[in-house]
Amino acid sequence: MARCRCSGRALCLCVLPFVMMSHLLVYIMVSIFVAMSYVPEPQLPLHFVASGASSNSGVLAPHPLATFWNLRLVDGALWNRLQHLQDRQHNPILRGNRTEIGDPSTDPNYMHQADGPPPCSPDPLWASQLPDFNTMPEQMQDFVLSMHCRRYTLLIDQPDLCTGQDADAEAPMLLMAIKSQVGSFENRQAIRETWGRSGLVQEEAGGKWWQVRTVFLLGRQDITTGPHPDLGALLQLESSHHKDVLQWDFRDTFFNLTLKDILFWDWLSMHCPHIHFIFKGDDDVFVRTGALLGLLNEHLGVNNDSKEIEHFLVGDVITNAWPSHQPHTKYYIPESFYKGVYPTYAGGGGVVYSGALARRLRVVSQWVSLFPIDDVYLGMCLHRLGISPSHHPGFLTFDLPEAERGKPCAYRRVLLVHKRSPKEMLTLWRELKASLPAC
């Protein structure tokens, strides 16, 4: 017994140093391994030369700030797959500089009202690529079935909206393009009487006067959600009286809002190509138009032909947003349809951008597959132009703090606020007129 205990102790004494040594050894080996596998970040060259660029010009293009072209085919999600093919086909390096198309009237992509676009009907082709298509919410199913359709007939047009009958008249400073629905007569009228008045509008604090135009973007009344009174005749009356309604032949649903962007850009290139700025927003927001004109004039005078103007888009900028994966929400996007984070985008309640940018958006959007959420889609187009939207704290798409909403002075720094009923628009308009100068 005694011998055994003794040898056990001896064994312990002998083995302990080895156990400690082995820990040390493991530590040293791991350290060496880490040190060996450390590779310093490769230094990107400051300039990037596309193959084929002439070598003796001495002018080099700046290196892109981030990877802008995904080389891997993203498996699974339908939109990513469709877009991957488009990105490849229209890669600006492989295809050269094609973000500018000449005269829109000679552009075969633009469909005149007279000949109309070819009829496009729902197609189950993409749906067959989605294993969970049958369990998707109806709005998603409808979207997938008709996401290949991008051209719809213009039912109500306003060809003279921008310059009147006189084609040589100077283009207005600002065009306010407002997403509306057939039934929202009251919103449209309140906007016309307040912040969306067409005609000469003065900058805040007694500044310059500028020509402003307002136009409402409508689809067809969505009659699939239940019986609806037919408001067609009333809309005809309204549009012939005010001449500020554009209506296209597609169902006016939330997931079809992106169509309003791309169809509006087409219309713009045809009927208002020289507009300086565009406001695009909802019909339940309130805009301080005078203050907005002040901002536009101050930063980017009408004659400012700087490069900056081609990149100009301001709004309430949202970064690193993920698609909603909650099946019962309005914004739900299944993972089988879209994978990944959304690009930086400006909230759809209201954004302002330059006419020069609108022309580029129109071209690049032809290479971006339709996406059901319109402000995200705009972000996707901007991303492909290499443009980041600028945030402006005056765009309050989530409203003022509740306690401040009733105080006119709280609106001093506001450019846009969501959301206001027609009645509230009228009250606020009157109050701000009277009390803002006193703040």
Ligand X SMILES: *[C@@H]1O[C@H](CO)[C@@H](O)[C@H](O)[C@H]1NC(C)=O
Q: Name the site residues for ligand X (rule: CB under 6 A).
A: 97, 99-100, 122, 139, 142-143, 146, 250-251, 253, 255-256, 299-301, 304, 306, 308
Residue 356 CB, nearest approach to ligand X (Å): 10
- Distance in angstroms (rounded) separating the CA atoms of residues 290 and 354: 17
Residue 34 CB, nearest approach to ligand X (Å): 46
Rg of the chain's alpha carbons, rounded to an integer? 29
Q: Which is nearer to ligand X, 175 or 385 (CB)?
A: 385
Q: Any idea what the Cα angle at residue 368 is, between residues 214 and 277, rounded to 5°?
A: 25
Residue type, 303: N
Give me the helix-helix angle, 374-385 and 355-365, nearest 10°. 90
The DSSP 8-state label assigned to residue 305 in this structure reads: -
Residue 30 CB, nearest approach to ligand X (Å): 51
Tally of residues, the chain:
439
Please check whether residue 293 is in contact with residue 352, taking contact to mean a CB–CB distance below 8 angstroms. no
- Distance in angstroms (rounded) separating the CA atoms of residues 383 and 303: 27
- Distance in angstroms (rounded) separating the CA atoms of residues 322 and 186: 34
Residue 32 CB, nearest approach to ligand X (Å): 50
Q: Which is nearer to ligand X, 195 or 252 (CB)?
A: 252
Of 294, 297, 288, 300, nearest in space to 196 by CA: 288
Please check whether residue 61 is in contact with residue 47, taking contact to mean a CB–CB distance below 8 angstroms. yes
